[in-house]
Chain A
Amino acid sequence: MLFQHLANGLLISGIYALVAVGFTLIFGVLEVINFAHGEFYMLGAFIVFFFTGQIGISYFWSIPFSILASLAVGILVERISIRPLLEKSFESMVICTFAISMILMNGALLTWGAEPRIISSPLSAPVSFFEIAFTYQRLLVLVVAIAISLSLHLFLQRTKTGKAIRAAAQNKEACLAVGIDIARISRLTFGLGIGLCGLAGALVAPVYSVFPTMGQTAMFKVFAIVILGGLGNMKGALLASLILGLGESLIAGYVSATLKDGLAFLMMLFILLLRPAGLFGKAVRTL
């Protein structure tokens, strides 16, 4: 039973991590708390529903469509609403992303209705390995989550563009002085973050069901995960997801399911008090 609990926790952490990477990218780098992040994730899932359920192409083919469509929406939203506000107050950005969240959620409600939709993936069939039950779909989510967070980490650390993104996070004026195009960085980061939402929505959709408010349910914990892992820290988000997924699984399994939702926020409280830069974050000097 313990191994089943550990496996459950591991697979759940994959779902958390996949949603969290895009969020931590935008949050940590652009310093935009994107309240619409969950809705972009929901949109990704609905795009898959649109392609598989309404147009009728196969599930796997619809994944790239979801990523591309989300990327396009991300770039568009960044151009018309995020970039003009980057220099404005923090509050106007919060209100702006709230507005985007409401528009997307209610837009989905108008377009597809409130009824939860089911997306079937060829990988959804239950399998059992040494008496540990799981599905390949959940395993896929975990593998992709690990791959994405590690490659994003490498991208940010090693490539020139990645370094420019990190530089923009620390000091925008200095970036301008050395010729880093802030507008391009903003577009790239936001587009990438939202594209990742499309991927997350597409992969997680067959695990649960697709409905307009699914983003809210998902974001509930992603906020906590990103703070635990440290803003903009890919490895941190992955590890925080792992701790939370495993912790929740064990608490629900051996103590009480009622207590499991408290774990994320309890951990967040302690982290904010003791290590404000996050479990794995290094304190960064911003000017």
Chain B
Amino acid sequence: MVTLFIAGLSVFISIAQAPPIKIGMCAPISGYAAFYGEHIVFGAKLAIDEVNEKGGVLGRKVELIAEDDKNIPAEAVSAAEKLITKDQIVALSASMGSSPALAIMPKVNEAKVPMFVQTATSILITQQSGIGGNPWTFKCNPNDTMMVNALAQFIVEKRGVKSISFIGEDTDFGRGIVKGLKDWMAPKGVKILSEDYVKAGETEFTPLLTKIKGLKPDVLGLGVVGPTQIQSLVKQMLELGMKIPLTGRYDVTAKQITDYVAAGAMEGSTCVEPYNQLYTGGQNPQFVQMVMKKLGRETGIYWWGVYWSYEATRVMIEAIKRAGNTDRTAIRDAAKKIEMELITGVKVKFDDYNQWHPPAFITGVKDGKIVLFGNIQT
């Protein structure tokens, strides 16, 4: 009896003392993109707390080690290197920006560490993953081309858009969005009136907007994502007396522009999102409630980051569980086979390019309110 007790105790102790399984993350914790980084880290912690409350995975706790990449490729590479070599993480969650994610990819391929991309949306990531040459990279959220094709289809077919001007930020992200929209629209006879790129973080758009005002496009296509930039842009459009509906990849629900939406300044604008908190399918309403409760606020939340970081972390944990150990190759092979039901109720599986095909959400402004127009399977 005593032996049994001691044996039991030692098993208990070994579980309690087993070192945690370390998951790494590269996110912009400081710098101009810190607002997004905060939410991406939060999303991953949500998933990790959930599994730890249920006793962890493989009898061990899961620990998140988040490193600051400032959304700069060079910083991201050194952050990833530190996580892989010093912290000995079993898998990596990255990255907010496409440029940092693309910079880390050769690193994880070389070090043989599975990486799950949550927020970066460049098509290049998908094209270079799986049979594209990098079997260690998995892309959870839909990429720009997938989303933008859905949006282009919507505005051309449902809105009858005939001409467009573009403003993109001068990054892989911004250029990817503009190219995606343009490639779909030009063959359909939509006139491309102008195409300009501004530096990331730019808040002065008046010179450019003045030019676009003169061109009178049906819509203004944006490859600019930050709420700070969108807020400045809409404000400056108002100052110049312009009323052109916006379209593209930006967050129409951002708190910074709610006043403009309500005032009718953005009437007819549309956007495509990798996730939308207004969606009522699956477990989404419960998830949204939980996030708002934990953050203690209902607005000013970077939803895409929270949601996709959460889903990416869930699939990482699931892969560790199925692998049955923390061997990086086993985790990668397990991830490949997982068919997971997302919070939105949709089942997804990584394709040959290690890309999931979740729905893209088309939202926009109607009568001064933000409406979810629908979701399109990518």
Contact = CB atoms under 8 A, between A and B. Distances in A.
B256 A116 contact: yes
Nearest to B34: A114
Interface stretch (A58-66, A142-150, A251-259): A251-259
Given A213-B31, A261-B199, A252 B231 contact: no
A133 B207 contact: no
A258 B223 CA distance: 14
Interface residues of B, number: 35
Nearest to A109: B34
A134 B207 contact: no
A114 B198 CA distance: 22
A109 B207 contact: no
Contact of A109 (B30, B210, B231, B241): B30
A260 B202 CA distance: 12
A135 B239 contact: yes
Contact of A4 (B210, B238, B300): B210
A208 B232 contact: yes
Interface string B10-45: 000000000000000000001110110110000000
A261 B202 CA distance: 10
B32 A8 contact: no
Contacts of B37: 114
Nearest to A3: B210
Contacts of B34: 109, 114, 212-213
Contact of A9 (B198, B207, B228, B240): B207
**Consensus secondary structure, chain B interface:** helix
B35 A116 contact: yes
Given A8-B206, A8-B210, A253-B210, A258 B198 contact: yes
A209 B256 contact: yes
B131 interface: no
A213 B35 CA distance: 11
Contacts of A114: 34-35, 37-38
Contacts of A27: none
B240 A133 contact: yes
A91 interface: no
Contacts of B256: 116, 118, 209
Contacts of A248: 207
A257 B198 contact: yes
B368 interface: no
Given A209-B256, A217-B32, A258-B196, A116 B207 contact: no
Given A4-B240, A115-B255, A213-B34, 5 more contacts: A4-B210, A9-B207, A116-B227, A133-B241, A257-B167
CB-based closest 5 A-B pairs: A252-B207, A114-B35, A257-B196, A114-B34, A116-B228
Interface of B: 30-32, 34-35, 37-38, 167, 170, 196-199, 201-204, 206-208, 210-211, 213-214, 227-228, 231-232, 238-241, 255-256, 300
